[in-house]
Structure 1
Amino acid sequence: MPALRAIYRAETADVAELRLGDFEAVWGKKYPAIGPAWRRAWNEVTPFFAYPPQIRKMIYTTNAIERLHRGLRKIIKTRGAFPSDEAAMKLLYLALRNLGVHWKPAIEWRAAYAQFTIFFPERLPTTIR
């Protein structure tokens, strides 16, 4: 994973391509499909590097969403069936409330928002409410 992380956290598309070559040299025999898959999609990947690190982190960070889904699945999986839709909604509400206690911000939202207002000024208001 650190070798792949080095690719999408690279400073520029050129550096990322060099790191992809490094990845293929080290891991290409064990995982032969990964390098060619990145290369086939390279034209779709490179626009990603035009954004500053704050925006790019928002794009590639999905850990919070995955953790939320895992927590909800864990709660639902232990129940066989629900007597009503209301019972299911109450269970999900309580699960969300309990899962929210452990959340830590993975993204610096103010810095990311500032970058979004620079890149997309027509789409966002200039102040956070």
Structure 2
Amino acid sequence: MADLKLVYAAPTEETALNELELFKDKWDSKYPKIYKSWHDNWATLSTYFKYPEAVRRLIYTTNAIEGFNRQLRKVTKSKTVFPSDDSLLKMLYLATMDITKNWTGHRQDWGQIHSQLEIYFEERLAGRNL
């Protein structure tokens, strides 16, 4: 993963392509599907490099999302059957309310990221206070 991180955390698309080739040289014999997947989907993946570094870091850092999903799984794991879809939705809603009560931390660079997102996604963020 450390070698793959050099690809997606690269400062430019050109550097990322170079790192992807280095990844291939080192790991392709053991994990050929990883390089093939990245190479075959590079046109889609590389659009990510049009954003500034702070926004890219926000995109590839999934710890908050993974933690939230883990907490939702913990709540639903104990119940294997729900009487209805509504009961599941209600349980997830209540769990979400409990989980978000504990969210007190803020990203230090959120002001900069928000400004950049407003530039790239002006039409989506118009009138929203994030």
Q: Given residue 32 of structure 1, which amino acid in structure 2 is its aligned partner?
A: P
Cα deviation digits, residues 58-93 of structure 1 (max 9, x gap): 332332222212211111111244567776556434
TM norm structure 1: 0.76
Task: Identify which of structures 1 and 2 has the higher relative contact order when contacts are C-alpha pairs closer than 8 Å and 6+ apart.
Answer: 1
What is the 5 A alignment of 1:47-126?
Answer: 47-82=47-82, 88=88, 91-100=91-100, 101=102, 104-105=105-106, 108-125=109-126
Q: CA deviation at 1:121?
A: 3.5
Aligned length: 129
Give the superposition deviation at 1:29.
1.6
Stretch moving more, 3-12 or 58-67 = 58-67
2:29 is matched with which residue? 29
Deviation of 1:103 (Å): 6.6
TM-score when scaled to structure 2? 0.76
Query: For 2:52 and 2:18, how far apart are their aligned partners in 1?
Result: 19
Deviations 1:94-116 (A, max 9, x none): 43344332674468432211002
Q: Which runs of 5+ in 1 are unaligned?
A: none
Larger displacement relative to structure 2 (86-95 or 4-13): 86-95
SS in 2 for 1:112: helix
* Cα 1:45–1:84 shift into 2, 3 Å: closer
Shift, 1:120, TM fit: 3.5
CA distance in 1, matches of 2:108, 2:26: 31
Correspondence list, 1:8-47, <5 A: 8-47=8-47
- Report the identity percentage: 37
Distance change in 2, residues 1:102/1:115 (3 Å): closer
Provide the C-alpha distance between the structure 1 equivalents of 2:23 and 2:104, rounded to a whole number of angstroms: 32
